[in-house]
């Protein structure tokens, strides 16, 4: 009995030039955090790579609506926007039913965090956090306000561009990837030492969400489209996996 040969498995060589160097002196804190010895590869335990399984029952209907999920007396202050896109694998296939979380500063550039001492005021109607689960086609969407830029103690006058932090979970908590989404047209992107730790302009472009007028809601909010590619030669840069994936 002859067997039909299996098609070759998909294999994607890691592109180490795509990820930034660990030591980028213009990003000051990278100097202290850069490893001096080669990193070790450790095999994940069964408890680390399996469970918990996230389902739609774990998500509140307002969890992906940052305009309403913390509001007490009115909508948050700021430019109302929609952020949407797809979570994809290396061959552009959708990744369904995966947990996506975001957190961000408010419209003035202030985080709801006790250690954030920036002069911008806290918005009492904005919590800055949300989560959702991708649908069967890998789509996700959030409604929020556009975050403001803010200064940070790198050099004398460094400012972070407006950005939203995004994390994607796999089947377990240890399978978590974190990235940042920037906004098309922001002049601070080119001046940010964190962004410029990426040496490939194409990698930076992949972190910038273009304006999507087709998804905007007339007389309500603009929209930005941000696809997240989990693996492959041109995967989205994940800040907690600078060695690649």
Q: Residue holding tokens 């069967």?
A: 136
Share of the chain above pLDDT 70, in %: 82
Q: Tell me what pLDDT residue 35 has.
A: 82
SS3 for 65? Answer: strand
**Is position 26 within any domain?**
no
Which among 27, 70, 111, 140 is annotated as catalytic? Answer: 111
**Is position 53 within any domain?**
no
**Is position 117 within any domain?**
yes
pLDDT at position 51 over 90: no
Q: Which two tokens stand for residue 230?
A: 């989990």
d(CA 80, CA 238): 26
pLDDT at position 145 over 80: yes
Of the listed ranges 23-27, 125-129, 147-151, 191-195, the least confidently predicted one is: 23-27
SS3 for 228? Answer: strand
CA-based angle 163:124:140, to the nearest 5? 40
Mean pLDDT of the region 96-123: 95
Which among 150, 182, 224, 231 is annotated as catalytic? Answer: 150
Cis peptide before 126 (omega within 30 of 0): no
Q: Is 160 a catalytic residue?
A: yes
Tally the domains of the chain: 1
**Is position 115 within any domain?**
yes
Q: Is 56 a catalytic residue?
A: no
Q: Tell me what pLDDT residue 125 has.
A: 98
The number of CA neighbours under 13 Å toward the Cβ of 54 is 20
Average pLDDT, the chain: 87
pLDDT at position 108 over 60: yes
Q: What's the predicted TM-score (pTM) here?
A: 0.86
Which among 84, 131, 163, 231 is annotated as catalytic? Answer: 163
d(CA 214, CA 212): 5
* Residue-by-residue DSSP string for 90-152: TTS-B--S-EEEEEE--TTS--SSTT---SSPP-TT---EEEEE--TTSEEEEEEEPPPPEEE
Q: For residues 50 and 129, which has the higher predicted lDDT (pLDDT)?
A: 129
Q: Is 114 a catalytic residue?
A: no
**Is position 28 within any domain?**
no
Mean pLDDT of the region 74-80: 97
Which among 70, 160, 182, 231 is annotated as catalytic? Answer: 160
pLDDT at position 33 over 80: yes
Q: Tell me what pLDDT residue 82 has.
A: 98
**Is position 46 within any domain?**
no
Give the pLDDT band of residue 21 (cuts 50, 70, 90). Answer: confident
Looking up residue 140, the CATH number of its domain turns out to be 2.60.130.10
Could you tell me which of 183, 10, 201 has the C-alpha nearest to residue 81?
183
Q: Is 182 a catalytic residue?
A: no
Which among 86, 165, 182, 231 is annotated as catalytic? Answer: 165
Q: For residues 32 and 239, which has the higher predicted lDDT (pLDDT)?
A: 32
Q: Is 131 a catalytic residue?
A: no
SS3 for 63? Answer: coil
Mean pLDDT of the region 35-49: 71
Q: Which two tokens stand for residue 42?
A: 């450790």
Could you tell me which of 202, 204, 186 has the C-alpha nearest to residue 194?
204
Listed in sequence order, the DSSP H helices in the chain are: 29-33, 46-49, 201-205
Please give the distance of CA 190 from its chain centroid, rounded to a whole number.
Answer: 18
**Is position 164 within any domain?**
yes
pLDDT at position 46 over 70: no
pLDDT at position 2 over 90: no
**Is position 1 within any domain?**
no
Tell me the chain's radius of gyration from C-alpha atoms.
19
Mean pLDDT of the region 18-37: 83
**In this predicted model, what pLDDT tens digit does every residue of 215-244 receive, in sequence order?**
999 999 999 999 999 876 667 878 766 555
Structural domain of 97: 62-229
Q: For residues 197 and 47, which has the higher predicted lDDT (pLDDT)?
A: 197
């Amino acid at each position: 009995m002859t067997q039909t040969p299996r098609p070759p498995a998909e294999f994607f060589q890691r592109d180490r030039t795509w990820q930034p160097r660990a030591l980028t002196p213009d990003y000051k804190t990278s100097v202290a955090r850069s490893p001096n010895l080669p990193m070790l590869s450790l095999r994940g335990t069964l408890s680390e790579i399996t469970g918990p399984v996230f389902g739609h029952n774990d998500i509140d209907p307002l969890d992906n609506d940052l305009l309403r999920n913390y509001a007490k007396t009115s909508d948050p202050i700021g430019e109302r926007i929609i952020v949407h896109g797809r979570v994809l694998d290396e061959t552009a296939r959708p990744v369904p039913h995966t947990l996506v979380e975001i957190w961000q500063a408010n419209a003035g550039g202030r985080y709801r965090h006790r250690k954030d001492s920036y002069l911008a005021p806290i918005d009492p109607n904005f919590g800055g956090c949300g989560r959702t689960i991708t649908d069967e086609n890998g789509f996700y969407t959030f409604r929020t306000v556009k975050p403001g830029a803010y200064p940070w103690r790198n050099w004398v006058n460094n400012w972070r561009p407006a950005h939203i932090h995004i994390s994607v979970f796999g089947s377990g908590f240890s399978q978590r990837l974190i990235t940042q989404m920037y906004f098309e047209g922001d002049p601070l992107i080119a001046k940010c030492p964190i962004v410029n730790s990426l040496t490939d302009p194409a990698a930076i472009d992949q972190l910038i969400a273009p304006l999507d007028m087709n998804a905007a809601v007339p007389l309500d909010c603009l929209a930005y489209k941000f696809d997240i590619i989990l693996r492959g030669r041109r995967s989205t840069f994940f800040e907690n996996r600078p060695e690649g994936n």
